[in-house]
Chains A and B, each alone.
Chain A
Amino acid sequence: MSKFWVIFKREYAQVVKKKSFIVGIILTPAIMAGFVLLPTLLIGKKATSAEKLAVVDRSEQGIGRQFEESLKRYKLEASGEPYYIVEQVFELPAADTVRFVAVEDSLRQVITDKELKYFLVLKPDAQLSDTNLYLVTNSDNFLSINRFEGRLSDILASIRLEESNVNLGVDSVLSLTRQVDLKIRDAKGESLPFLTKYMSALVFILVMFAMILGYGQMVMRSVIEEKNSRVMEVLVSSVTPFQLMLGKIIGLGAATFTQVAVWVLLGAGIYSMKGALNIDAAVDRIIFNPLIIVFFALFLTTGYLLYSTVFALLGSIVNSEKEAQNFIFPISMSLMFPVIIAMYIVQEPNSTLSIALSLVPFFAPTMMTMRLVFVAPTLTTYSVLSGIAAQAVLGFVIVVLTIVGMIWLTGKIFRVGILMYGKRPTLPEIVKWVKY
């Protein structure tokens, strides 16, 4: 066991002494917090200047004027000035298509975000079909587009009502058919914006991905280096291959753990000053969620251990980093798999498929973290016997068991592979080493 510690110490010191290690400790949480905050900040950003638009109205029913009027209710929050400025309403006779084409063409020329952001075209009989009206714009501002839709719906509905013979006042019908604006709240109160959760999940996974892949490849590189420099032969004349492998994996793993531990301490420090720092509610609920913090740390460390055994195995059978490149792609893909199917997971984080995938050993670290970010902040209580906490515990146990199996398997291949130079072994040969 003492030789294991000698190797452990060297591998650990080698990483921790590097400047990049210190930089990573400080930079990573800053980047994480930034990414979690950024979308919230951007989306919450209030408009400070008015948006300009024009209307081309061929309906001969004054829809354009009514639309202009209806927009007056929107004010800029900061100044109280109108949110929308209708530069002009072109009221054209329905029959005069020549002038219409000319007007539309000239409007298209000037459409930019600053000068003229939108123009609305109303054809004759706009109330009859949605194909008779359209909005020209280069912007995807959902907020404004939703408002335009709402106002136009009201105007066109009132025209339809007048045309039909329903014996009710226009206003009363409108109030009867009013659309519901559904506010979403979760069990804890105000809902977290979807984008915030999504970005947080991605940030957690990217950090995990970078650390597992970074440190894992360090294990691989160090094995390849020892093979190439032939230090390996001296090493195995002093220690067993198994001691060497474990010393390496756990030494570098301790470096990973050191990094995470510093973050947790840092986080605890910030959390204790929570009141003074005016922390964003979203950050508070995601980053300082106990379930997320605990399992992020656990899955990061075990994920590292799991993947680093794979990298140790890889390093022992290849002769150069170049040769290893081909294999790194599938390994990183299995780590990134949750991101690829993220859209499904985030919509159905508690579906059977999502749960099942998050229990597959090589997906569990990232997949379970992603689900935790989506599910845990909405819960008021946790139970380790059911729900996400129980699944996370189960996933953790599965990963730990897989690590034990992988270390056994890798140990078998490692001890033969590290002394094989030259030709890369074939799969049947590797299978033989396992049995040997």
Chain B
Amino acid sequence: MFLKLENIRKEYDGKVAVDALSLEVPRGVIYGIIGPNGAGKTTTIRMIMNITIPDSGRILMEGAQSGAAFKNRVGYLPEERGLYKKMTLEEIMVYMAELKNYPRSKAIGKIDYWLDRIGLAEYKRKKVEELSKGMQQKLQFVTTILHEPDLVILDEIFSGLDPLNIELIKDIILEMKRAGKTILFSTHVMEQAEKLCDNLCMISYGRKVIDGKLTDVKARFGRNTIQIDIEGDGAFIASLPGVRKMIEFNNYIELHVDEGVDTNSLLRAVTEKVVVRRFDIVEPSLYDIFIDMAKIDPAELDRSKEAAGV
């Protein structure tokens, strides 16, 4: 296992930020940490980065406690971005690489490639403050990976980027994965997590609620989601037998139904009252899982597991 968190706990002023968190991140995967705002994602990442120290538990990289040498092998893009405004692009790229003990000459040799890649080649000798916010984000992403880290940690990587730049960064992330690097990212935008990650873990209220390969996670939640398009008022559907939950979107309704429910009779019951234009049984999206799980207090989850004898 490349990166391993063992039973991490962190409290701030009596408030538990992260509790009993264990993670295993295999080498060469794209690993997503998802969860609602304030769930503990950034705290977890900061502990992995050794910026804050867990109250208890261990963080291991390749079996060794994370330390100074570890820092040099990681590239970290924090959620709150920032660069020295008065430095030129090339200066800051070399400086950040040097802070990772990356040889100066090697860093200088890679500047042109990366600036060209993110379309900022002409700004090489300009100051950071002359860049737009989106450009600064791209620049910071590049400074994060210039020193060829084995592990890249990206906190809310896509926030504030336009679709073109999202594509650009996604391509670079996939390239890094192919080169055997491990990428750990956090997001609360599920569509991106769904498209990118191999493995994921979801944190809610400071605790892990889901963990595993994306395909496994989806399989676990089963094919118990139904999307329907109707004409008319569909409010009654929520109270039909077997319907666990109904989410109304602008253009369609999504139903979460109990395991083993008779979908045929459900469809019949709906057509009796309104016109149905589409009735689809689908895999749950990560979005649904997220909504589902984020609402549950994990302490509750523990109790119900105990009650069920799990």
Contact = CB atoms under 8 A, between A and B. Distances in A.
B52 interface: yes
Given A230-B81, A237-B76, A238-B100, A6 B49 contact: no
A225 B52 CA distance: 21
Contacts of A3: 98-99, 101
Contacts of B85: 229
Contact of A234 (B46, B76, B86): B76
A229 B82 contact: yes
Contacts of B74: 237
Interface in A10-28: 10, 14
B287 interface: no
Main SS class of interface, A: helix
B78 A230 contact: yes
A236 interface: yes
B95 interface: yes
Given A229-B83, A230-B82, A238-B71, A2 B51 contact: no
B71 A234 contact: no
B96 A234 contact: yes
Contacts of B77: 234
A237 B67 CA distance: 11
A49 B96 CA distance: 71
B82 A234 contact: yes
Contact of A238 (B46, B84, B99): B99
A41 interface: no
Given A230-B78, A237-B71, A2 B101 contact: yes
A234 B81 CA distance: 9
Contacts of A2: 101
A233 interface: yes
Contact of A240 (B49, B68, B144): B68
B137 to A, nearest CB: 12
B80 interface: yes
A231 interface: yes
**Interface size class of chain A, counting residues whose CB lies under 8 Å from the partner chain:** 20 to 34
Nearest to B68: A240
B98 A6 contact: yes
Interface string A179-212: 0000000000000000000000000000000000
Contacts of B95: 6, 10
B107 to A, nearest CB: 11
B99 A233 contact: no
B84 A231 contact: yes
B96 A238 contact: yes
Interface string A211-232: 0000000000000011011111
A179 to B, nearest CB: 68
Interface in A229-261: 229-240
Contacts of B144: 234
Interface in A145-164: none
A14 B52 CA distance: 29
A14 B85 CA distance: 13
Nearest 8 CB-CB pairings of A with B:
A230-B82, A229-B82, A238-B99, A230-B80, A237-B76, A233-B78, A231-B82, A6-B98
Given A3-B101, A234-B144, 19 more contacts: A2-B101, A6-B95, A6-B99, A7-B99, A226-B82, A229-B82, A229-B83, A229-B84, A230-B80, A230-B82, A233-B78, A233-B82, A234-B77, A234-B78, A235-B99, A237-B49, A238-B71, A240-B68, A419-B51
24 contacts: A3-B98, A3-B99, A14-B86, A225-B84, A226-B82, A229-B82, A230-B78, A230-B82, A231-B82, A233-B80, A233-B82, A234-B78, A234-B96, A234-B144, A235-B99, A237-B49, A237-B50, A238-B72, A238-B99, A238-B100, A239-B71, A240-B68, A419-B51, A419-B52
